[in-house]
Amino acid sequence: MDLSLSDVQQALLDTVRQFAIREVKPLAAALDREHRFPAELVARMAELGLMGIEVPEAYDGADLDPIAYVLAMEEVSAACASTGVIMSVNNSLVCDPLLKFATEAQKQQWLRPLARGEKLGCFMLSEPNAGSDAAAQKTRAIKDGDGYVIQGVKNWITNGPQADTGILFTMTEPEKGNHGITAFIVDMHGEGVTRGPKDDKLGIRASHSCQIFFTDHRVSADQVLGEPGKGFKVAMSTLDCGRIGIAAQALGIARAAFEAAAEYAGDRQTFGKRIIDHQAIGFMLADMLMEIDAARLLTLRAAWMKSRKLNHTRESAMAKLFASETANKVAKNALQIFGGNGYVTEYPAERHFRDAKITEIYEGTSEIQRLVIAASLLKSRK
C-alpha cells in the first residue's frame, strides 16, 4: 500500500485543513455549548464538495476516492466532531448506498441533490428495541396496490431533525428475519413522517438526532432501494463504508485531544519544569501519538481496499474498533494531563472526552466489531 498522497489528495487535504482551522474550529465550543446545528458550516462543506466526496461528477459529486474522504473527515472532525459526523452520514450512509444500489432514475432524482449538498440525508435502521439486532425491528412496509404503506418508529437518527432524504429499512416479510428486510428511499417531508424532539446527548451536541415516526406513510415501488427482501445486504454494505467514516471521525477527535494536551504540557509548569519534561507525562503523550498513528494506518488500509473494490468488511471493523477505542483512551489521558483544568468547559479536553464515547457505539458497537472480526476469522478457516 502506497502511503504517498496524489496531487489531488494533497490539494484536498490542504483545502479542508484550512477550512477546518479558520472556519470550523472557532465555532466548535459554542456549537457544543448551544447544541446548535452548524447550518453555515454544512453549506460551506457543500460549496467545497465535501457532501458527496466519492460520488462521480456525473451525479454532481467531487469524484474523489475513499482515501480523500478519510483525509477530509479527520480534518473536519479534529476541528468539530459534530460537524464531522453530519458530513459522514451524508457521504457514507446515504450517498454510498444510493451509488451502489440505486437505479439510474433514482440516482438522478435522489443522489444528485445530496451530493451537491442541496439536500441532507439520514440513515434509518435502529429502533427503540432493535439496535445491533436488525432482524428485531418492528417497522413494517405493507404492500398496497403499486406501492407500500409504512408504519413504525426509528431511533437515534443522526441528521433526523434536518434531513430531506432518508434511507429507511423496514420489514416486508417478518417471518423471514434478515431476508425479509427491504430498504426504501423516503422523502422526509412526506405525509405521515413525524420527527420527535431532538435527543439531549452527552457529546456531539451540534449533530442533532431524534426519533422518526412513520404513520401510514405511502411510498411507491420505485422507492425501493435495491431489491425487495434484500435490505439487510444494503445495510451491511453501507455500514462497512460507514465504519471507515467513523474511524476517521475518531481519529480527528483523538488528534485534537492529543494536540491540545501536548500544547498544554509544553506550557504548564510544576516543580520548576514543564510537565511534558516529567517522564510520566512524556511517556503518556508518546503512547497517545503512537496509537493515533496506528489507528490512522488501519483506517487508510480499509479506505485503500475500498478504493480497489476489495472486500473490506473485516478491515473496516478493525479500523473502527481500534480508532474509536484509541479516541476514548487518548481523550481520557488528555483530560488527565490537563488536571483540574480538563474538567471545566474553558478548555477543550472535556468536550473531546464527551465526543469520543459515541464512536464506540454508533454504526456498530465495539462488541459488534469484535463479532465481525471473529466471524471473518472463522469463515477464513472453513
185 with 110: CB under 8 angstroms?
yes
Q: Is-catalytic flag, 363?
A: yes
Which set of grid coordinates corresponds to residue 346? 474553558
Query: Out of 74, 291, 325, 363, which one is annotated catalytic?
Result: 363
- Measure the CA–CA gap between 253 and 251, rounded to whole angstroms: 5
248 with 77: CB under 8 angstroms?
yes
- Measure the CA–CA gap between 38 and 27, rounded to whole angstroms: 9
- The conformational region for residue 145 under phi > 0 = left, psi -120 to 50 = alpha, else beta, is left
CB-facing half-sphere around the CA of 163: CA atoms within 13 A = 35
DSSP track, 8-69? HHHHHHHHHHHHIIIIIHHHHHHHHHHT---HHHHHHHHHTTTTSTTS-GGGTS----HHHH
Q: Which residues of 113-150 are buried (b: 16+ CB within 10 A; e: fewer)?
A: bbbbbebbbbbbbbbeebbeebeebebbbeeeeebbbb
Residues in the chain: 382
Which set of grid coordinates corresponds to residue 299? 483506517
Annotated active-site positions, please? 363
